[in-house]
Amino acid sequence: MRIPTINTNNAPKAIGPYSQGVMAGDLIFFSGSIPLCPKSGEVVCGSITKQTEQVIANISALLKAAGIGFDNIVKTTCFLTSMDDFAEFNEVYSKHFISKPARSTVAVSALPKGVDVEIEVVAMKA
């Protein structure tokens, strides 16, 4: 059995051997999104605000490709390279995740391509 995947050119292509998203029943598991520009594939540098906004734009494109929206997200896992960025990150995050899904936020020593933030989401197909 082949597992259905979610793929879109409006979000960064996978930079490794994985899918942008996979469906399992009513759940969709999206791979972690980092602040890459979908068109250029380049890292969006700058403040944690700027990076988080790009990550959220990428997540939005993935959700749209799946035919759902932010209200369908049930769980996020957020990775930050510095908890000193938490308040600024949280300010951007709270503007978009209005339905308040379950969330974990952890500090990590490094992320792919040297970025400061990564968010992965699990959503439910309504």
Closest among 108, 11, 93 to 60, alpha carbons compared: 11
Query: Does CATH place domain 5-124 in 3.90.1010.10?
Result: no
Closest among 59, 20, 46, 16 to 115, alpha carbons compared: 46
Closest among 23, 16, 12, 117 to 68, alpha carbons compared: 23
pLDDT of the residue at 15: 78
pLDDT of the residue at 126: 73
**38 Cα distance to chain centroid:** 13
Cβ within 8 Å of residue 85, ≥6 positions away: 48, 116, 117
User: In tens digits, what is the pLDDT along the chain, a chain of 126 residues?
Assistant: 788 999 999 999 887 899 999 999 999 999 999 999 999 999 999 999 999 999 999 999 999 999 999 999 999 999 999 999 999 999 999 999 999 999 999 999 999 999 999 999 999 997
